Amino acid sequence: MSISFWVFTSLIVLLVFYLLAWGTQVRRYTSSSTVANAYDSWTNDRLLEQLWGEHVHLGYYPDLGRGIDFRLAKIDFVHHLVRWSGLDQLPPGSRVLDVGCGIGGSSRILSREYGFDVIGITISHAQVQRAKELTPKDLLCHFEVMDALDLKFDQSSFDGVWSVEAGPHMPDKQLYADEMLRVLRPGGVLAVADWNSRESVTGIRSGFERFVMSQLLNQWAHPDFATIHGFRQNLINSRFSGGFVDSEDWTKFTLPSWIDSILEGFRRPGAVLSLGPGALLKGLREIPTIVLMRWAFANGLMQFGVFRSRG
């Protein structure tokens, strides 16, 4: 076996001991406030923004990541999902909702490059404030604090609904699907991308797999992961479903993002060091979960699902 395999395996073992030594419930999900507090913290210290730019989500790598810039891969991801979902077939001026908008990176692309009138919502007050600061005044792009499971919009309010990597924070996946489809007009376009757990015929996982899953849930305030099939069924079973629902597994296209997200700290050391020692320690604190995420996606424990539907 290659040296890189043994190095990666040794790193996994060391990280397991690290997590066991430092505890496993720092960000365990207890309520929506757990999620809000986590994102407020990540936004206020500017660590993720300094390292990864305006997009916290994964990137799209069509050629296994060779020669692709990490930040450009994130932008490419937005365009690939827009085209795959059919959102690009909506005319300029269409009203689009971005559910779990972060600091507005995708919302700004949807508004600036596709001409959509975008409303981004997130449960984090800090993210909304930062999104507003980063958004030019001339863009049709606005942001509000709102719970995705209780959208304050009328039925059929939007021509398109967009949501990237927000689902794992939702304790009720059916309600998450229902609310997005409820506000989507008949014939409108839904585009969703999420981290999903593996389909299991037996439902049996090894001890190490159970440990990894507990970390992926508890370290980043996730109540649970849906499976690709499970969330597709949530969309199909919704009383607001228009009938058409499709899904794909984009794990191979997004997998390089995990290691790239760590390497950015070495490519841009000044981005971390300029924020002070606290940010450096916090950055190091995130590495074990990122490595375990990469292991889970590379070994089939997790999958990256994309979903498209019509209202």
**Structure confidence by residue, pLDDT tens digits, 150-177:** 999 999 999 999 999 999 999 999 999 9
Task: Note the helical H segments in the chain.
Answer: 3-22, 32-44, 47-52, 70-85, 105-114, 125-134, 173-182, 207-218, 228-237, 251-254, 257-267, 269-273, 277-298
pLDDT bracket for residue 66 (50, 70, 90):
low
> Residue 269, Cα to own-chain centre: how many angstroms?
24
CB 57 within 8 A of CB 164: yes
Predicted local confidence at residue 20, as pLDDT? 45
299's CB contacts (< 8 A; 6+ apart) are: none
Predicted local confidence at residue 264, as pLDDT? 87
C-alpha to C-alpha distance for 77 and 253, rounded to whole angstroms: 9
C-alpha to C-alpha distance for 221 and 95, rounded to whole angstroms: 30
pLDDT bracket for residue 10 (50, 70, 90):
low
Average pLDDT over residues 210-235: 95
The residue among 15, 34, 14 whose CA lies nearest residue 26 is 34
Strand duo 184-197 + 245-249: pairing: unpaired
pLDDT bracket for residue 22 (50, 70, 90):
very low
pLDDT bracket for residue 284 (50, 70, 90):
confident
Gap between the terminal Cα atoms of the chain: 50
Predicted local confidence at residue 60, as pLDDT? 96
Average pLDDT over residues 134-142: 96
Predicted local confidence at residue 203, as pLDDT? 67
Average pLDDT over residues 242-253: 95
The residue among 118, 92, 99 whose CA lies nearest residue 107 is 118
Task: Note the helical H segments in 53-144.
Answer: 70-85, 105-114, 125-134
Residue identified by tokens 């994130």 is 74
Q: Is 287 exposed, middle or buried (0-12, 13-18, 19+ CB in 10 A)?
A: middle
Predicted local confidence at residue 13, as pLDDT? 54
Reply yes or no on whether the pLDDT at 29 is more than 70. yes
| Mean of per-residue pLDDT scores for the chain | 89
Considering the domain 14-310, what is its CATH architecture? 3-Layer(aba) Sandwich (3.40)
The residue among 181, 191, 196, 118 whose CA lies nearest residue 148 is 181
Lowest model confidence (mean pLDDT) among 60-69, 128-137, 139-148, 298-307: 60-69
pLDDT in tens, 227-246: 999 999 999 999 999 989 99
Q: Please indicate, yes or no, whether the overall pTM of this predicted structure exceeds 0.85.
A: yes
Lowest model confidence (mean pLDDT) among 71-75, 182-186, 231-235, 265-269: 265-269
Lowest model confidence (mean pLDDT) among 46-50, 90-94, 191-195, 283-287: 283-287
Predicted local confidence at residue 47, as pLDDT? 85
pLDDT bracket for residue 276 (50, 70, 90):
confident
pLDDT bracket for residue 2 (50, 70, 90):
very low
Reply yes or no on whether the pLDDT at 225 is more than 60. yes
